[in-house]
Structure 1
Amino acid sequence: MGQVLHRRMLKTFIWFGTVALSVAWASGAALKPDIVYVLADDLGRCDVGFMGCRDIRTPHLDALAASGARLDQFYVQPLCSPTRAALLTGRYPMRQGLQVGVVRPWAQYGLPLDERTLAEALRQAGYTTALVGKWHLGHCQPAYLPTRRGFDHQYGHYNGAIDYFTHMRDGGLDWHRNDEPCHDEGYSTHLIAREAVRLIQAQPKDKPLFLYVAFNAVHAPHQVPDSYKQPYSQLKEPRRTYAGMVAAMDEAIGQIVAAVDAQGRRSRTLFIFCSDNGGPQPGRVTSNGLFRAGKGTLYEGGVRVCALATWPGHIQPGRVVTEPIHIVDWYPTLVKLAGGSLEQPLPLDGLDIWPVLTEGKPSPHQDILLNAAPRSGALRAGDWKLVVNGQLDELQQAENPTAGAGRGSSRAKPSLELFNLATDPYERTNLAAVHPERVNQLLSRYRQLAGQAVPPKAGPRPPGFKAPAVWGQTP
């Protein structure tokens, strides 16, 4: 009698446990995926196999793309720091004064301290949070450093354009572990991969991980061990070295994926990959395919980048997402997946794109602001795209970001371009004169958003500035 009762109680316990687990998964309570977000630097849209590249081999990225979704209309900002700010806050960089240029080594500012970061939101949701690689969101004071912005672990550099082997920028050391100087030796792409693997191996089985891997590859200076260039002898410099850098990064990503597999965490891991902007010097160094222009511009070649997302059992393998989405969307999407809270003082621009990725739903956006600088900007609404003063380069504006006497100011008539991306994705035909009513509609909305922008913080190098011996420390 006792054994029968025991068996019945055991069956009942198992049944209730199964139901509870099912309810938890259905409600999202147990759906705390590991999140590995890999961000490439200055990678051309068409310099990976899954986006059609034929002269550079990227087998590991191609395998990730095949296992999930290729994001065909994924937008970022035209430059490095603004894209990173958008990812980590879910807000357009024009709200932070980061819409022009990048955070230069001499900058006495960074990502505003009142911004809640993705790392903070995920840590509050129970995650271990780690940044490996490039920060580029300020280092003028300790409060701006990654370990003060929600990251439990930090490894890598603060500035852009460091030397890949010496880890120096303008004579100062820029390599750090947990925001303290670090003298590890080696090629930076290798070191970033090694640290990412170490963190994956050390992660407790019962705790979710947010691992933000921000390679400085393939940003200039173009440097790579010779062995990576050898398979690309048919290419001319500088593309040959660049190809080797892409190959080294792809190998590093393969090592990170292998570490996840070895720890038995693949089924619970959401991998995301994209570039921070379009490729610079397209046709000479990088390839953005047929898309117009590249890094630092508001045209598709500057802001529509290679991207993928994959999570076994959740994102259908081989899916191609053709809905327009923006990097600001990852913040609310990931926090929601993690069971975290989106209640915060500063409102988000990003929207939840999980139904777009998993169910084929339309983009949740009525429009996407591609940027709003004092003298230039762009807005996409549906298939239509308005470009304001597209001839102005974002990098050039950084030297004098608030000048308003030129074209595009409130006192001068701006140059306006209108494109129908459904029929003209390569922006060859300006339809502004054909559809003036559409121009006025988009321009009104653009000005509404641009009116919410704060003044840009970027400025020229101050006279007499000297690099410190170690970046992040007082000279």
Structure 2
Amino acid sequence: GWNDVSLHGSDQIMTPNIDIIGHKGIVIQNYYTDTQGTPSRSAMLTGKYPMRMGTQGESIGGAEDRGVPVSEKLLPSYLKDLGYATHLVGKWQLGKSRECFLPTYRGFDTFYGFLGSSIDYYTYNRVEVNMLNNTLIIFVSDNGAAATGMNENFGSNVPLRGTKGTPWEGAVRSTALIWHNRMRSHVWKGLFHVTDWMPTLISAAKGKITDPIDGIDQWHAMINDEEALRTEMIIAVDDLKGWGALRDGEFKIVIGNIEQCCSEYYGEELSKLRNEEPLYEKALLDSETATVFREVLNTTLNINKAFKKRSLCIISKPKNKINNTQLCMPTNELTLRFRNLWLEIQPRRPPSFDIRANPSFHDYIWYPWLDGDEPVPVPLTNTPRYPLQVSTEEFNYYVETKLKIMKESLNDCVKSLTDKFVDGMSRLF
């Protein structure tokens, strides 16, 4: 969660190795991910909103026949086109019921990790390779902490509201750090969505995405500390639970009914139980990352700058504004726009679990259990019910929007026919 990284001001559990990546690199202060693992990962690797692919909502279950559509080209395939070798270590969770969903069929040369949502911890031997000067390091979280609910743990999203699996800030406002040895260190306050990673990283690799996606290339804006190219985004949608969230500038709208048990502020009471705070300065300087930077890159951490940067990364609660109704100007603009976007959802089927996936049938290994000839579930075509009733204003807005699109299409068609006619006539003389 947001408060699980000491860079954001928490002194309960120090994370100096993560913090130094931020202190020496770029902190993306307004980074938004999705609410669960599968939608976040699919958005990152495709550059598209999960709702366009049926990967929104709950993560793919261990025995569920679902994955990122094979028609989608993923980030590693674009990188291979640019001459890169691609390897994945760790968690996948984008489908494993069929071989065509596996990482090595989706653009990765090799894969070492686990296909589902979780696995037991294991130890490993660290391998050092002299490639730090030519490495781009990115640290992000795929969603907020589950401070309560079915997957409750000790994660903390303080001071943000809600938990993993909800559209509140505690689920989707996440840590994002990026480092390269030649990057200028700063806190970038531009708006960045998880879908932006694909075009941004391809741009960093001197490539360009021409396919239609939702992500925006923000590489130059980010490294040069310029204004963000993104001003709005669909934060998250769950058509089966019937809720969604949209942000436009400084405004955010949440529609639908969200579980009340996961919609509060959690964790602040724990801060009162801690003993003497550990020394942040000592934790940073004694960390393994600081040692590597000193010995390999011959660079040291400026503690004064680190404390100043840390202060810029702490979210403060607004004062004397929460109950000030004079600041509110009623408007239905976001509701109208969200309803229009809701029509673009690729509906998700209610999860069903296949007994054939049981690892006991496959030498106790989670592995694809369906053959290539097995029929793929037909996508649903009915648009899921929008959580809000239609008002007269919304109906008029929808009609006007469709008429505008029709008018633009007709104008383009007429212009094209006119140009062809003029060109044909000119050839006669």
What is the TM-score with the length of structure 2 in the denominator?
A: 0.67
- Mapped pair 1:66 → 2:66: no
State the alpha-carbon separation in 1 of the partners of residues 80 and 334 from structure 2. Answer: 38
Q: Which residue does 2:154 correspond to in 1?
A: 285
Q: Secondary structure at the match of 2:154?
A: coil
State the alpha-carbon separation in 1 of the partners of residues 326 and 93 from structure 2. Answer: 37
State the alpha-carbon separation in 2 of the partners of residues 422 and 380 from structure 1. Answer: 20
Q: Which residue does 1:52 correspond to in 2?
A: 9
Distance change in 2, residues 1:447/1:393 (3 Å): farther
Whether the 8 Å contact between 2:95 and 2:102 is mirrored in structure 1 is: yes
Q: Secondary structure at the match of 2:2?
A: coil
Instruction: Please point out which of 197, 206, 210 is paired with 1:343.
Output: 210
Give the length in aligned residue pairs.
311
Q: Secondary structure at the match of 1:368?
A: strand
Whether the 8 Å contact between 1:77 and 1:277 is mirrored in structure 2 is: yes
Distance change in 2, residues 1:133/1:428 (3 Å): farther
- Mapped pair 1:450 → 2:317: no
Quote the offset at 1:423 in angstroms: 7.9
State the alpha-carbon separation in 1 of the partners of residues 216 and 254 from structure 2. Answer: 23
Whether the 8 Å contact between 1:100 and 1:458 is mirrored in structure 2 is: no
State the alpha-carbon separation in 2 of the partners of residues 388 and 428 from structure 1. Answer: 20
Q: Deviations for 1:64-111, whole angstroms, at most 9, x for unmatched residues?
A: 111111111100000011000011001110011011101111111201
Whether the 8 Å contact between 2:64 and 2:97 is mirrored in structure 1 is: yes
Quote the offset at 1:462 in angstroms: 5.3
Q: Which residue does 1:95 correspond to in 2?
A: 52
State the alpha-carbon separation in 1 of the partners of residues 248 and 134 from structure 2. Answer: 35
Q: Deviations for 1:245-279, whole angstroms, at most 9, x for unmatched residues?
A: xxxxxxxxxxxxxx3xx51x323221111111001
Distance change in 2, residues 1:324/1:372 (3 Å): same
Instruction: Please point out which of 126, 133, 138 is paired with 1:267.
Output: 133
Whether the 8 Å contact between 1:297 and 1:390 is mirrored in structure 2 is: no
Q: Which residue does 1:436 correspond to in 2?
A: 330
Whether the 8 Å contact between 1:328 and 1:350 is mirrored in structure 2 is: yes
State the alpha-carbon separation in 2 of the partners of residues 284 and 470 from structure 1. Answer: 27
Identity score, percent:
33
State the alpha-carbon separation in 2 of the partners of residues 463 and 339 from structure 1. Answer: 46
Higher alpha-carbon deviation: 358-367 or 98-107 = 358-367
- Mapped pair 1:305 → 2:186: no
Distance change in 2, residues 1:340/1:350 (3 Å): same
How do 1:297-446 residues align onto structure 2 when only pairs under 5 Å count? 297-314=166-183, 316-317=184-185, 319-344=186-211, 347-374=212-239, 375-389=242-256, 391-392=258-259, 424=318, 434-437=328-331, 440-446=332-338
Q: Secondary structure at the match of 1:156?
A: strand
State the alpha-carbon separation in 1 of the partners of residues 180 and 90 from structure 2. Answer: 23
Whether the 8 Å contact between 1:72 and 1:321 is mirrored in structure 2 is: yes
State the alpha-carbon separation in 1 of the partners of residues 53 and 77 from structure 2. Answer: 18
How do 1:137-156 residues align onto structure 2 when only pairs under 5 Å count? 137-156=94-113
User: Gapped runs of 5+ residues in structure 1?
Assistant: 1-43, 165-186, 198-258, 396-420
Whether the 8 Å contact between 1:78 and 1:297 is mirrored in structure 2 is: yes
Quote the offset at 1:463 in angstroms: 7.2
Whether the 8 Å contact between 2:91 and 2:118 is mirrored in structure 1 is: no
How do 1:149-228 residues align onto structure 2 when only pairs under 5 Å count? 149-164=106-121, 187=122, 190-191=123-124, 194=126, 197=127
- Mapped pair 1:471 → 2:366: yes
State the alpha-carbon separation in 1 of the partners of residues 171 and 257 from structure 2. Answer: 11
Distance change in 2, residues 1:134/1:386 (3 Å): same
Q: Which residue does 1:217 correspond to in 2?
A: none
One-letter code aligned to 1:342: I
Larger Rg: 2
Quote the offset at 1:356 in angstroms: 2.8
Q: Secondary structure at the match of 2:12?
A: coil
State the alpha-carbon separation in 2 of the partners of residues 271 and 430 from structure 1. Answer: 43
Q: Which residue does 1:295 correspond to in 2?
A: 164
Whether the 8 Å contact between 2:64 and 2:354 is mirrored in structure 1 is: no
Q: Secondary structure at the match of 1:128?
A: coil
Q: Secondary structure at the match of 1:46?
A: helix
State the alpha-carbon separation in 2 of the partners of residues 95 and 327 from structure 1. Answer: 15
Q: Which residue does 1:399 correspond to in 2?
A: none
Distance change in 2, residues 1:75/1:61 (3 Å): same
Q: Which residue does 1:200 correspond to in 2?
A: none
One-letter code aligned to 2:144: G
Distance change in 2, residues 1:114/1:292 (3 Å): same
State the alpha-carbon separation in 2 of the partners of residues 392 and 104 from structure 1. Answer: 21
One-letter code aligned to 2:139: F
Q: Deviations for 1:331-359, whole angstroms, at most 9, x for unmatched residues?
A: 00111221234133xx2101011133122
Q: Which residue does 2:62 correspond to in 1?
A: 105
Q: Deviations for 1:93-136, whole angstroms, at most 9, x for unmatched residues?
A: 00110111011111112011001100000011100101000000
One-letter code aligned to 2:111: Q
Quote the offset at 1:52 in angstroms: 1.7
Whether the 8 Å contact between 2:4 and 2:156 is mirrored in structure 1 is: yes
Q: Secondary structure at the match of 2:136?
A: strand
One-letter code aligned to 1:446: F
Distance change in 2, residues 1:451/1:311 (3 Å): same
